[in-house]
Amino acid sequence: MKHKIVFLDRATIEKNIVVRKPSFDHEWAEFDYTNHNDSNLILKRLKGATIVIINKVPMREDNLKKLPDLKMIAVAATGTDVVDKEYCKNNNIIVSNIRGYAITTVPEHTFALILALRRGIIGYKEDVIKGEWEKADQFCFFNHEIRELHNSTIGIIGEGAIGQGVANIARGFNMNILFAAHKGVEGLGPLYTPWEEVLEKSDVITLHSPLLPQTKNMISLPEFKKMKKKPILINTARGGLVKEEDLVEAIEKGYISGAAFDVVTKEPIPSNHPFFKIIKKPNFILTPHVSWASMEAMQILSDQLIDNIENFVIGKPSNVVSGDF
């Protein structure tokens, strides 16, 4: 059988990253972008395809049932919320994803954001540009609070590979580490700290959970008001884990000391997003979903993506998604 492979959004992998072609006989087609909302275009491009590669292009039942030749969806990411996995399960379509590729790059980005906030980097950079240092009557000036990480407490929500990677870096700063699952989960054993306790005791809270029905908006105003130490909040995981309007209020009212996000609920971010109310504040940082995107991590992703496809074709599918991601 000659497979037809279609990559619908190749531009989600940096152009200099090598995406090798599979070793078996196949037809290959790729497109930089495919409009998520254009079902006719998606179906046209996938006509006759047996394998589709996607990152964010949705694969829902309405389209899947019109693609009788499709046997595999290879997701070029860890998250598979864009795929109707129940339909795939019931119709013998294998869904594979990428695992373990971001265990270095996301923790590094997380700590870059933590350090930028704890040391007032953004505010001081802007002050220098505005000439504030030039106006100072001594060698330095103190417009923004600087706090050390040493002996502070970090609350890590999620104990997967990325959460553990964050913990490894935190140990290097001699931080106290608390792990918690998402709100409402109990009985996980001594390695976990209760949710409420993490909210109350942490100087830094960082999110590393999947977006599931039970994790959606798991941090909103009630949680912000329980954060007694006014921590900084970091989200390099998924948009939707935090109620975004409530984060804006938490920043404006001082319930937390600052926040840094790499993800939002709608990406790319629309111009009317509530984060633009606080975007110029020195204690808020927004990066455009790039915590995963080191060159090294993207090459690992690309190689694993093709490995998954080749393993499927020889009858030994790898990284098959059977649960929630």
**Domain residue extents for the chain:** 3-100+295-313, 105-286
Pick the CATH number of 105-286 from 3.40.50.300, 3.40.50.720, 2.60.120.590, 3.40.50.1000: 3.40.50.720
Task: Say how far apart CA 228 and CA 214 lie, in whole Å.
Answer: 24
pLDDT at res. 1: 84
Mean confidence (pLDDT) of the chain: 95
Q: Which of 99, 249, 289, 310 is catalytic?
A: 289
Q: Any catalytic annotation for residue 118?
A: no
The predicted model gives 232-257 an average pLDDT of 98
Res. 313 pLDDT band, cuts 50 70 90: very high
Task: Say how far apart CA 156 and CA 106 lie, in whole Å.
Answer: 13
- The residue behind tokens 């709100």 is 183
Q: Any catalytic annotation for residue 10?
A: no
Q: How far is CA 231 from CA 68, 145, 154, 180, in A?
A: 51, 13, 9, 16
Q: Any catalytic annotation for residue 267?
A: yes
Joined tokens for residue 216 = 């959606």
Q: Which of 119, 267, 273, 296 is catalytic?
A: 267
Domains 3-100+295-313 and 105-286 agree in fold: yes
All residues at 6 or more sequence positions from 77 whose CB lies less than 8 Å from its CB, including other chains: 12, 55, 56, 97, 98, 301
Residue 264 has pLDDT above 70, yes or no: yes
Q: Which of 238, 245, 273, 296 is catalytic?
A: 238
Q: What is the per-residue pLDDT across 108-149, written as a single tens digit (0 to 9) for each?
A: 999 999 999 999 999 999 999 999 999 998 999 999 999 999
Q: Are 209 and 158 in contact (CB under 8 A)?
A: yes
Q: Does domain 3-100+295-313 have CATH number 2.60.40.10?
A: no
All residues at 6 or more sequence positions from 40 whose CB lies less than 8 Å from its CB, including other chains: none
Say what percent of the chain tops pLDDT 70: 97
pLDDT at res. 189: 60
Res. 208 pLDDT band, cuts 50 70 90: very high
